[in-house]
Structure 1
Amino acid sequence: MHSLIELWESVRDFIATGGDVLYIVALVLFIMWVLIIERFWFISREYPVLRNKIIADWNARVDTTSWYAHKIRDAWVSDASTKLNERINVIKTLVAICPMVGLLGTVTGMIAVFEIMAVQGTGNPRLMAAGISMATIPTMAGMVACLSGVFVTSKLEGKVKSAVHELADSMPHH
């Protein structure tokens, strides 16, 4: 319990040093990871049921060789692909937004530095350092959030692509 309190205090100090923009970075990161976890859940738990139903429906068909049967097969594969790709573009957009939100923190931090310089002059390096820290920490946080999403998103896209190919290969058209 004591270590959780220390962890929370260090996070709170980090946010205080980086400014309120870190709350926005944290919100974007949270939403992004909720969507990523949901997609992995869908691929591992819900999609296999859908895949098995589609394959069973295909195998139950008498006609699998006509043009009409090919179009039904293509429609089923397309429908499964659409369901697998749901929210992928939203996740990719959130990944791309993370560095932009970090740069927003850079701008607000630099404005704070310029305000200090306007009021105090350039003779107080300690106050300027606090503003520069407020400018760089959100940028770093946005980049780390982005990198965490980039690798996982590419892995997720690979799983989706292979699942679609596997489904298409599981439904032979003689």
Structure 2
Amino acid sequence: MVPIIICSILAIAITIERFWVLRADRVAPRDLLPAVWKQLKDNRLSAEYLKNMRRETWLGSILAAGLQQSRMGREAMKDSVQQQASHVAHEMERFLNTLGTIALISPLLGLLGTVLGMIEVFTAIMLQGTGNAGVLAGGISQALITTAAGLLVAIPAMIFYRALRRRVDTILIMMEQDCVKLIDALTAEPQNAQSGQ
């Protein structure tokens, strides 16, 4: 039961932390791209602004990476954006593998507890015989509790793992769309690319 309890605490902590970190308004605010475009149009996109963008949100760090390469052409922008996006995706998926592992091993830990409990029950049968049904029933129920506990941890962990994976994928798609819009706009209007530096 101790490993199952530890897994449950870890699963709760990871789930709360990831839902807090992966808020769309924090990771990829919808007003960021219009704000960047306004800065470009007004020729006010400075190195300090790019530095703040990079620091404040993950989408900002991706857009800033592309803007810093805007003079080098479309391909350089795309490469820079993809490199930064892969780093951001890695950060967004942090701890998700751990949560998935907890969802997979919790039932196995419960089953292991049940097997060990049943071994104790059969040891008691060997020593005391089958005459004391209360001892046998109590031992079997204790053994089955670990399986139930493992499932109670695994089922919510798997649900939250899937939900968080879906959230990461959705946010990454939104970020990709914003980056494509920015790259297309900058490469379609070369004069704006000069203001990106």
Q: Please say whether Structure 1 and Structure 2 have the same fold, judged by a TM-score greater than 0.5.
A: yes
For 1:1-174, list aligned pairs within 5 A.
22-44=1-23, 47-48=27-28, 49-59=57-67, 62-63=70-71, 65-172=73-180, 173-174=183-184
- In the TM superposition, residue 62 of structure 1 has moved relative to its aligned partner by 3.2
Higher Rg: 2
Distance of aligned partners of 1:159 and 1:64 in 2 relative to their CA distance in 1, 3 Å threshold: farther
Q: Which amino acid aligns with 2:168?
A: V
Unaligned runs of 5+ residues in structure 1 are 1-21
- In the TM superposition, residue 91 of structure 1 has moved relative to its aligned partner by 1.1
Query: 1:105·1:134 contact (CA, 8 Å) conserved in 2?
Result: no
TM-score (norm 2): 0.71
Distance of aligned partners of 1:112 and 1:123 in 2 relative to their CA distance in 1, 3 Å threshold: same
Distance of aligned partners of 1:149 and 1:100 in 2 relative to their CA distance in 1, 3 Å threshold: same
- In the TM superposition, residue 46 of structure 1 has moved relative to its aligned partner by 5.5
Distance of aligned partners of 1:74 and 1:64 in 2 relative to their CA distance in 1, 3 Å threshold: farther
Identity within the alignment, %: 25
TM-score (norm 1): 0.80
Q: For residues 161 and 72 of structure 2, what CA distance do their matches in structure 1 show? A: 35
Across the aligned residues of Structure 1 and Structure 2, the Cα RMSD in angstroms comes to: 1.9
Distance of aligned partners of 1:37 and 1:64 in 2 relative to their CA distance in 1, 3 Å threshold: farther
Structure 2 residue aligned with 1:6: none
